[in-house]
A and B are shown apart, each in its own frame.
Chain A
Amino acid sequence: MLEVRNVDAGYGSTVILQDVSLRVEEGEVVTIVGANGAGKTTTLRTISGLVTPKTGGVFFEGEEISKLQPHAVVDRGITLIPEGRQLFPDMSVRENLLMGAHRRDARGVRSETLDEVLGLFPRLGERLDQHASSLSGGEQQMVAIARGMMARPRLLMFDEPSLGLAPIIVEQVFDVISKVAASGMTVLIVEQNVWHTLKAADRGYVLENGEMVLDDAADALLENDHVRQAYLGI
């Protein structure tokens, strides 16, 4: 479904990613784990069209998307839930969710999607008319995830969904991600919380200093010596 092929990418003259390749098949939950600064976010931003690769390409269902503007990538069915939530602060929760359904394919069915999404996030149903900026960090993360789902994407990407959240909220966020994945959504997650992510994923990649050093089934990575020492502290 998604293929990143031999991508070098960065900002200005700074190279972050070197020869990065990865694949995500339909229905899979794939994760990219790695330390802070390894290039995980840059990988997602490259897929989203926010960063244009210097060499290599990004392909979605056989079409090269690496030269497209971000809004065109969203139209193809790829939605990124960005790090740090990035809600629209002066809009209500309802308006934030409606903005998620801006994509042409999602706009016509947005009230049905809203009902479905609120089924998954019952707490947000009580907060629809509140300003997004008045919510707690955990609630804001839930709005960000729900907003991403409102686009009815074919591939949903999460950038550090547990960042800055209390441990109990982290559990809730991963519960939700598991539910989203169980509904058949194809998911790509980037996380520093390696144990939780690998538990939720089918396959994983390990990114170090902008290069893919490992890829394997998620349970195999949980048993891998390098992963255990470097990321799980076991």
Chain B
Amino acid sequence: MQTFLQIIANGLMLGGLFAIVAVGLTLIFGIVKVVNFAHGEFLMVGMYLTYLLTSGLGVHPYATAVAVIPILFVLGAVTQRLLIQPLMHARDEHIQIFATVGLSTALINLALLIFGADIANTPNYGVRSQIQIGSVRILEGQLWIFLAAILLVIGLQLFLARTNTGRAIRATAQNRAAARLMGINDRFIYVLTFGIGAACVGFGSALIAPLYPTSPTIGTYFVLIAFVIVVLGGLGSIPGAFFGALIIGLVDALSGFYIGSDLREAVVFGIFLVILILKPSGLFGTRVSQAHVSP
């Protein structure tokens, strides 16, 4: 029983970490309708920034979020404005996917050029210390990530539901043509949303860097799991991404212990295939609006 509780705790903590990566991905997908294959590399860039700022300035890694979040926001906004937007009228929308894959490769190679293939360990300032809750032990940093993920999801939901800008973002996603007729600058909304999605992962990277060694390919591992989560939760659903992440975190931890740690990813991607076949809209999926103004 004690072991089981510990595995559940590990799974939930892992889920919180996945959630903080997946939320930005699902936001960008749901609003801009672009699958951002460079999302993991945004995480990698954020983690290197945290590493550099923490080791260079000697500040707590969490404090670097103040700089990493705006930098990642700009990275996302620039990606939308200079890479995706010019391709919006491309004959085939899949070209946008190739563009984000290209960006991902470019960022990985840029990191290899600057930092080499060695791993970079961010000073952890004690967030790797264990804390005991009841009979289970978790890392302090994991608990912060879990709480931060909850805050991020609630914050984003409130922003989208209650603010004028949030409403304009949702309107653009639901019916872009009508949104333009309301006076909404749809291009600006896309740039803003891409920026927010990247800023979310920037927030995550300041929290993740002290727990995981940073390397040029660190993003690839996280983003593959994040794609599974986004599909499980329902494309574009922020609560879906959160609960999807917890489920995948639990599956990962349970299958790692009961089936074998080599087979964890096989189980996770097995679930991915089953969802695609049985419920492609995901747990929280809504129908995709096909409404457009006809010519």
Q: Which of A45, A90, A98, A103 contacts B286 (CB 8 A)?
A: A90
User: Is A20 positioned at the interface, with any CB of B under 8 Å from its CB?
Assistant: no
B184 x A102 contact (CB < 8 A)? yes
Interface string of A178-213 (1 = CB under 8 A from B): 000000000000000000000000000000000000
CA of A147 to CA of B294, assembled, Å: 19
How far, in Å, is A171 (CB) from chain B's closest CB? 25
CA of A107 to CA of B164, assembled, Å: 9
A–B complex contacts, Cβ < 8 Å, 13 sampled = A41-B295, A45-B293, A71-B183, A79-B183, A84-B291, A84-B293, A86-B291, A88-B179, A90-B174, A91-B167, A98-B167, A102-B164, A103-B183
User: Is A161 positioned at the interface, with any CB of B under 8 Å from its CB?
Assistant: no
Tell me which residues across on chain A come within 8 A of B175, comparing CB atoms: 86-89
User: Is B180 positioned at the interface, with any CB of A under 8 Å from its CB?
Assistant: yes
Interface string of A59-74 (1 = CB under 8 A from B): 0000000000111001
Q: Which of B133-184 contact A (CB under 8 A)?
A: 164, 167-168, 170-171, 174-175, 177-184
CA of A71 to CA of B185, assembled, Å: 6
Q: How large is the interface on B (under 10, 10 to 19, 20 to 34, 35 or more residues)?
A: 20 to 34
Residues A82 and B177 in contact in the complex (CB < 8 Å), given A98-B167, A107-B164: yes
Residues A86 and B295 in contact in the complex (CB < 8 Å), given A99-B167, A99-B171, A107-B164: no
Tell me which residues across on chain B come within 8 A of A11, comparing CB atoms: 295
Tell me which residues across on chain A come within 8 A of B168, comparing CB atoms: 99, 102
CA of A188 to CA of B168, assembled, Å: 26
User: Is B3 positioned at the interface, with any CB of A under 8 Å from its CB?
Assistant: no
Q: Which of A69, A74, A89 contacts B182 (CB 8 A)?
A: A74
CA of A147 to CA of B164, assembled, Å: 15
Residues A71 and B174 in contact in the complex (CB < 8 Å), given A11-B295, A99-B167: no
Chain A residue nearest to B174 in the complex (CB): A88
CA of A71 to CA of B182, assembled, Å: 7
> Chain B interface (Cβ within 8 Å of chain A)?
164, 167-168, 170-171, 174-175, 177-186, 286, 289, 291, 293-295
A42 x B295 contact (CB < 8 A)? yes
How far, in Å, is B170 (CB) from chain A's closest CB? 7
How far, in Å, is A192 (CB) from chain B's closest CB? 14
B182 x A99 contact (CB < 8 A)? yes
User: Is A83 positioned at the interface, with any CB of B under 8 Å from its CB?
Assistant: yes
CA of A99 to CA of B178, assembled, Å: 10
CA of A145 to CA of B184, assembled, Å: 18
Residues A88 and B178 in contact in the complex (CB < 8 Å), given A71-B183, A99-B168: yes
A91 x B170 contact (CB < 8 A)? yes
A151 x B182 contact (CB < 8 A)? yes
Residues A91 and B183 in contact in the complex (CB < 8 Å), given A82-B293, A99-B168: no
Give 4 A-B pairs besides A83-B293, A102-B164 with Cβ atoms closer than 8 angstroms.
Answer: A50-B177, A74-B182, A88-B179, A102-B183
How far, in Å, is B51 (CB) from chain A's closest CB? 41
How far, in Å, is B223 (CB) from chain A's closest CB? 28
How far, in Å, is A181 (CB) from chain B's closest CB? 20
Tell me which residues across on chain B come within 8 A of A41, comparing CB atoms: 294-295
Tell me which residues across on chain A come within 8 A of B185, comparing CB atoms: 69, 71
CA of A74 to CA of B291, assembled, Å: 20
Tell me which residues across on chain B come within 8 A of A104, comparing CB atoms: 183
CA of A95 to CA of B170, assembled, Å: 10
CA of A75 to CA of B188, assembled, Å: 15
Tell me which residues across on chain A come within 8 A of B289, comparing CB atoms: 89-90
Tell me which residues across on chain A come within 8 A of B177, comparing CB atoms: 50, 82, 86
Max count, chain B CB within 10 A of own CB: residue among A74, A75, A147: A74
Chain B residue nearest to A148 in the complex (CB): B181
What 9 A-B pairs are tightest by C-beta distance, nearest first? A74-B183, A86-B178, A70-B180, A103-B183, A71-B185, A88-B174, A102-B182, A71-B183, A102-B183
A89 x B184 contact (CB < 8 A)? no
Tell me which residues across on chain A come within 8 A of B184, comparing CB atoms: 71, 99, 102
Tell me which residues across on chain A come within 8 A of B167, comparing CB atoms: 91, 95, 98-99
Chain B residue nearest to A110 in the complex (CB): B164
Chain A residue nearest to B295 in the complex (CB): A11
CA of A82 to CA of B176, assembled, Å: 13
User: Is A93 positioned at the interface, with any CB of B under 8 Å from its CB?
Assistant: no
Max count, chain A CB within 10 A of own CB: residue among B177, B181, B286, B295: B181
CA of A6 to CA of B179, assembled, Å: 29
CA of A73 to CA of B19, assembled, Å: 40
